[in-house]
Amino acid sequence: MRIRTKKNAGFGIEATREEDPKKSRDPRTPSNVTYLKNRLYPQCEKPGRPSGPGSSNLVLGALFSLLLAAGWFGANGCASSKRSISPEAGQESLVRAEEAIAQGDLSLGVKELVALRKRAGLSPSLREKAEHTLIDTGIQEIEVQRGNASALRRIYESDYPERVRARAGLLAADALFENDHPVDAFNLIQKLDRKFPHHPERALAGRILGKVGLHLIDRKGRYSLIFRYRAKGIRALEYLVLRYPLDSNCDEAYFALSQRYEKDKEIDYSLERIEDLLIYHPGSPYAIAAQARLPYLRLLRLDRNDYDRGELAVASGEIRNWLAQHEGHELEGWVRELGQACATRLAESDLSLAHYYERIGAEEGKRLHARRALAIAQRSNLEPQMSVARALLGPETAVPEATTPRPAGSGAASGTEEAGP
């Protein structure tokens, strides 16, 4: 037995069964009847089925016209789920909703208003009135449920307008934080920002995020048996300064992140956060302390005195500028000690270079760095460094006159420079 595929007019492709030629063929079999019909009547059609290349398009066009007339499709050609309503019926629905709300049945009134908002054919004034009524009702319900995280979360997940849902979600996060669930509070705020990226409650969101992040970053222990609260606090504060960079809590967030990164030995990140604080919030109460931390972190980042003398020079200039601008500040003593440490490291850097030039027999380089080390040591009263520098210079003890102090980082390539407080 062999299968033969044959294309006929009006029926597409049809497979016919071909018997073995040696066997007798019964003309009454179904396969032979179909074969004979296709050979003898190739243009025959099934009853009731339209023929022609455009028949299917005509049927679809007629169906679309019927649906359009019935109101199933909107003006943009998409299927519309909003059924039309007459102005009189819309007004009656609004009155019923207002009466239910006035009688204290908020659920019935809200259900009526939400259904009314989804109807097509409302006049602009009626739609605006329904929207305002729904917003006022939502705000009223939020105030009634304030502090109840589960009830506020239900409002957030309801069909209220975006403004109401955003406020309810943020207050639900605040309630979660007050009930000692700061991680859930942060996760809810993230979810809300993804759903409503341009919501109008950004000030409230920044305040709650700052409170949650500052709590988590100092909290010891773990949640879910694995994850650390401090790591979640870092994520929360980084999210705050990234999504809300001009929020009033960002300066404290930057400062807390810098301290946390310093404790975690991430000095580069700590320095970046202090710089961000001074760039974006120069008038912050944390700005003066941040200016003092800046040279401190630069010195902390350098493992060796001879590794990057330019960084030491920048730190020295920042210390001088801070002492000139904030005389009498409570941090002045600590900054002066930092200045002494910076001057010591600068002198040690020059002395190490002088010893190097002495080993390779470069007399000029040795004297250059020894004189510079001696000048820095004399200004900062560093007796051990002065003794080493004089020993390197030998009979030559004259030191060039001190040059005028330059801005931070501008004197790294000069023979002498101002250093120390």
Count of structural domains, the chain: 2
Tell me, what's the pLDDT at 40?
Answer: 46
* Residue 25 lies in domain: 1-38
pLDDT band at 38 (very low <50, low <70, confident <90, very high): low
Residue 112 Ramachandran class (φ > 0 left, ψ -120 to 50 alpha, else beta): alpha
- For residue 167, give both structure tokens: 């406020």
Tell me, what's the pLDDT at 71?
Answer: 47
pLDDT band at 165 (very low <50, low <70, confident <90, very high): very high
Question: Is residue 14 scored above 70 in pLDDT?
Answer: no
pLDDT band at 65 (very low <50, low <70, confident <90, very high): low
| Within-domain flag for 161 | no
Identify the top-confidence range among 4-13, 23-32, 112-121, 406-415. 112-121
Tell me, what's the pLDDT at 9?
Answer: 46
Least confident of 117-126, 130-139, 154-163: 117-126
| Within-domain flag for 180 | no
Q: For 3-16, what is the mean pLDDT?
A: 48
pTM of the model: 0.70
Q: How many CB atoms lie within 10 A of CB 193?
A: 19
- Taking the C-alpha atoms of residue 407 and residue 173, their distance in angstroms, rounded to an integer, is 48
CA quadruple 139, 140, 146, 152: dihedral positive or negative?
negative
pLDDT in tens, 343-376: 999 999 999 999 999 999 898 999 999 999 999 9
More confident residue, 284 or 5: 284
Residue 359: what residue type? R
| Within-domain flag for 118 | yes
Concatenated DSSP letters for 33-68?
HHHHHHHH-TT---TT---STTHHHHHHHHHHHHHH
Tell me, what's the pLDDT at 394?
Answer: 82
pLDDT in tens, 186-221: 999 999 999 999 999 999 999 999 999 999 999 999
| Within-domain flag for 128 | yes
| Within-domain flag for 381 | no
Q: Which of 107, 133, 159 is the last residue of a domain?
A: 133
Tell me, what's the pLDDT at 100?
Answer: 77
Tell me, what's the pLDDT at 189?
Answer: 96
| Within-domain flag for 4 | yes
Question: Is residue 104 scored above 90 in pLDDT?
Answer: no
- Taking the C-alpha atoms of residue 97 and residue 112, their distance in angstroms, rounded to an integer, is 6
| Within-domain flag for 227 | no
pLDDT in tens, 285-307: 999 999 999 999 999 998 887 77
| Within-domain flag for 207 | no
- Taking the C-alpha atoms of residue 384 and residue 207, their distance in angstroms, rounded to an integer, is 53
Q: Which of 133, 168, 199 is the last residue of a domain?
A: 133
Identify the top-confidence range among 140-144, 184-188, 403-407. 184-188
Q: Which of 100, 133, 166 is the last residue of a domain?
A: 133
